[in-house]
Structures are given as structure tokens and as C-alpha cells.
Amino acid sequence: KLMLKNGILLLLLIVVISVSCERDDICAASTPTTPVLTIGFQDTDNTTEEKPLNITIYKPDFSDSLPYTSSSQVEIPLRTDTTATVLVFVKNPNNLVAAEDPDNADTVTFNYTPQEEFISRACGYRVSFSNLTIQYNPGTDGRWIDDIIINTRTITNEDTTQVFIRH
């Protein structure tokens, strides 16, 4: 009798455990996550041509740098806890003898509306961004950014270049 009781309890325990596990307890690698902002760099004189550059992107306090060498496109994360991300774009950083715009910093402010979307218990939330607007300030060293073109005001994935900076 004791053996039968233990067998029934074990079987009941196995059933309870198997029923309590759900498919969404594991987040698949293919699950969409919060997208980054993709920025392409174009030639001002020929807007169909990419124009690579050496650039470092900083927070306004010059912390957390993202350096890029000969890049025609960069991907930057936007803040999800606020409605704006302010970044300093330094063209030809630490190169005072560059032929074009030596060590020149322009500050760019990205304004947007973050929208949380629940994915699952395992994956949590992702954030998309809508109503993107941009302001830029050339600072005291002159501007190197000639124009900023917003290709799409809603950022839901990384399949397209959302912003173009012409220089």
C-alpha cells in the first residue's frame, strides 16, 4: 500500500511539473528585440553616394564612446527610459590635421515616443520608437553636418536606414 501511494504521488508530481512548464519559458533567438537607430552617411554634393568617415559618438559628458573607422553606416541605441537621446558626433576625432573637418563635434538630439510591447514572460518587453524628430547644434567649432534626413519616423526594426546625415 505504501508503495502504491508513493507511486501515485510521484505520478501526480510529474503531471503537475509538466503542465506548469509553458512554451514561452524560453526566449527564442529569433524573437524581435528593441531596435537600434541606423544612420547612414551621404555625400552632400551627391546624395545617392555613401560617404564614409572616421567618427566617434559620445554621450554629452563624453563618456561611453562608440568609435567607427571609415564607416558609411552606424547603429546606435536610443534610450528607452526617456523621450530623447542626446549624442555628440565627432568627425575625425583627435585628428587636428584632417583635410576635412578636423576633430569637429556636432551635438544631435533625437526626440521620439517610446512604446513598450510585451513579447512574453521569458522575453519580457521590447521598445519601438515613433514620431522621430531631430535637432542638431554645430557648437563653437563650426558644423560638419550639412543636413539630416529622416527616412522613417518609426523605428520598429533594423532592416532599413532610418536617418541619413549628409556631410
Give residue-wise pLDDT tens across range 83-128. Answer: 999 999 999 888 877 677 778 899 999 999 999 999 988 889 999 9
Classified as helix, coil or strand, 4 is helix
How many CA atoms are closer than 13 Å to the CA of 145, on its beta-carbon side?
A: 23
| Residue 93 one-letter amino acid | P
More confident site: 127 or 140:
127
Please give the helix or strand (H or E) that residue 5 lies within, else none: helix 2-20
Q: Considering the entire predicted model, what is its pTM?
A: 0.81
